[in-house]
Every structure is written in C-alpha cells, then in structure tokens.
Amino acid sequence: MLTDLRSLNLKNRKVLVRCDFNVPLENGAIADASRIDASLQTIRYILEQGGAAILCSHLGRPKERDVKYSLKPVASYLSDKLGMKVALAPDCIGDITGRLVSALAAGHALLLENLRFHPEEETNDADFAHELARGKEVYVNDAFGSAHRAHASTVGVTRYLTERAPGFLMMREIEALSALTTNPEHPYIAILGGAKVSDKIGVIRNLMTRVDVFLIGGAMAYTFLRAMGEATGKSRVEEDKIGLAVELLQAARARNVSFELPSDHVVAAEPSADAAVEVVTRIPEDKMGLDIGPQTIQRFISHIALAKTAVWNGPLGLFEIPAFAHGTMAIGQALAGSAAKSVLGGGDTAAAVAGQPWASRFWHISTGGGASLEFLEGIELPGIKALEK
C-alpha cells in the first residue's frame, strides 16, 4: 500500500523530495525543462502545506564531481518558477549542506547538488543513504524515471525515513500504467519501434499475454522481417537475435496475437539527410529501411482506429532526419487523436513528438523510458516498492 501524500503532516517538517531533474543541457542551459515542470505540482504542494522542501536529483552520468553536471541551471529555473530563491547546496551530503538543511525555513526549498557526484548513490551505499536522510523527516519520491533503479536516493534512504509517499507525478504514472496492466479494455494494441529488438524482448513477451495486436516499426522491424525470410538489404538487423525473433513470431501465432510488420519502406543508401529516398515493398541489396512506408502507415492507422487501449514505445523510423520522420509523426498523430486510452512511453518517443500540436492529446505521456517499459513488463520497480509501508 502506498501512502497518499495528502495524508501526511508536512507542516514545519523537513521533506526530502527525490525529483527527476535529469534535463538535457545545451551549452550549460536547459534545453527542455518539461521534467522539472512535471515535478512542480508536488513541490508547490509541500511548500503550501508549510513543509521545507529539500530537493535532490541526478543529472547525467558523472562518475565524480564535475561542474558540467552541476544542478545550478535547475536551481535558477526553479527560483523563477516558484517565485522564490531556491539555493543550491554545494553537495548533497556533508556539514555545510547539513547546516543549510537545518536553517531552511518552512515554505522554502533548497536544491541539493547532483547525487551522482558520489558513486555511492548508484551502489545504494547504506552510509551514503543514511547521510542523505540526515536532518530530514519525510521522504517523497516523484522521480518515476529513476524508479527502476535501486539507488541510495530511491531505495536506500527509505530505511531511515519511514514517513514516505509518492509525489503526484509518480502517482499519476502508477495509475496510468496500472490501467494497462490491470484489466485493459480491448482491442489493446502495442506499437513498438526503436533501434533494437534486444531492448524490447521483455516487454514483447509480457505484452504477448495482454495485447491483441503488435504494430512493429523502427529498425527492430528488420530483424523480424529477416526472421520471416524477407530481403532487408543494408537495414539494421540484429543477426544474433533472429532466432529469438522467430520464437516471438511463433508465440504470437500460437496466441492468436496479430504481429503486424511493415510491408513497404522508405529506403536510402545511407542514413543521411541528403541521401536519395524512395519507397519500396522489397528492400534492394544496397539500401536500408529508415522509415515505414505509406501503405504500412495506413494499415497501422486502421488498427489504431479500432483500439480501446494502446501503448507506444520507440520511434517508427530514424525520426531525427525529417525525411524519415513521417511514419513516427503520422502514427503519433493518429494515436493522439484516437479514442483509445493511449500511453506514450520512452524518452526517444516523447522527444520525437515533443512540440507537435497534437502531443497533448495523448491520454498519458510517461516521463520514464526504462521505468515505464519495466512497469509494463510486470516487473516490480524498486523505487515504488520501497515507498510501500
């Protein structure tokens, strides 16, 4: 059982809030602040209730202290958004930070420096977790994107902070994704794309027992087409996964799950913006498939039109190059506009549709790529389990 954040007494209490401020930076500036925006509701609530919010997050993958990965730009962004000064502590643990935490007044927020400046964060070191908990009384985890990792700030710390609850963003993610794992309405379709079959094996296996239709695009489709004996030219094929692809195709047939693969392709000699592009039904030897073709788009859209539940993970082509983004955009737009309960998961997929006028019409856009896939695989996420009583 998870505790409702609204049932906790936060007044005059020090609240450690694990956020997901792992935002993309360009030349030291925040390139996309949507992850920070997604946590504001929880932070504002804690402040309004008279709590003192001590915010923590990781940013990037530093192995030690590295100014490039400082959360400084996040502190300024938060100060702006919250309309109050949010100071950045020099570290996430230690005496100076400890003094800043104890001096923090009710209704105010302090941001701790990048958790990953300490390797002990990722090894879930007990002493580090204890230090992180020191001086705090309540723990709130709003970092769904990190919930599949058992780190000190997502799991270890809960040993020392027994009053704990998911934040509102975490709760929304759990509720939305649970709608897909518990009694989803049928027809239920899964649209999967992206680079590799190997990343999606678990989710395909698990969804096999739940969905009625798979719509497969992206580079991973070519491993399946090869498994069916079709020509794939120079397309990205995972040679060592062809056997597995055969197995998955057989499993789908045995369960009467329809496994839809592309029947036409946008191909080019190389994955570049100035390559000559053509649409083919059979991929020539010297070309590679870089997007699903118009006939495939129509077929996929006709499945989407009937769906009551849909999950989408992974772009259907090399969307970073506009000439190969059409399939991803057409499918995204159809899904967002459909009557289905549509859930979009995965950083790449969300990045592909970000900024499109129809993107807000998805039923739910998950903030966690790996975390949402593991949730849909039926794996218990350590960061959620640790919040339970």
**Contact residues: ligand AMP, CB under 6 A:** 193-196, 199, 218-219, 236, 271, 289-290, 314-315, 317-320, 346, 348
- Cα dihedral angle (202, 208, 211, 214), rounded to 10 degrees? 80
CB nearer to ligand AMP: give 319 or 362.
Answer: 319
List Cα–Cα distances, 13 to 9, 99, 127, 211, in angstroms. 8, 15, 23, 45
Q: CB nearest ligand AMP: which residue? A: 194
Pick the closer one to ligand AMP by CB: 317 or 368.
Answer: 317
The nearest distance, CB 199 to ligand AMP, in angstroms, is: 5
- The identity of residue 61, as a single letter, is R
Minimum distance of ligand AMP from residue 178's CB (angstroms): 23
Least separation, in Å, of the C-beta of 136 and ligand AMP? Answer: 35
To the nearest whole angstrom, how small is the minimum distance from the Cβ of residue 127 to ligand AMP? 35
**Closer by beta carbon to ligand AMP, 267 or else 334:** 267
Angle ∠(327,314,166) on CA atoms, nearest 5: 135
Name residue, tokens 């399946």.
224
DSSP sequence for 270-321: SSSTTS--EEESS--TT-EEEEE-HHHHHHHHHHHHH-SEEEEES-SS-TTS
Residue type, 57: S
Q: Which residues are catalytic?
A: 35, 196, 347, 370
Per-residue CA distances from 28 to 33, 47, 81 (Å): 13, 28, 19
- Measured from the CB atom, the residue of 62 and 289 that comes closer to ligand AMP is 289
Nearer CB in complex with ligand AMP: 39/223:
223
Give the separation between CA 333 and CA 353, rounded to whole angstroms: 9
Closest separation between CB of residue 289 and ligand AMP, Å? Answer: 5
Instruction: Fill in the amino acid letter for 239.
Output: E
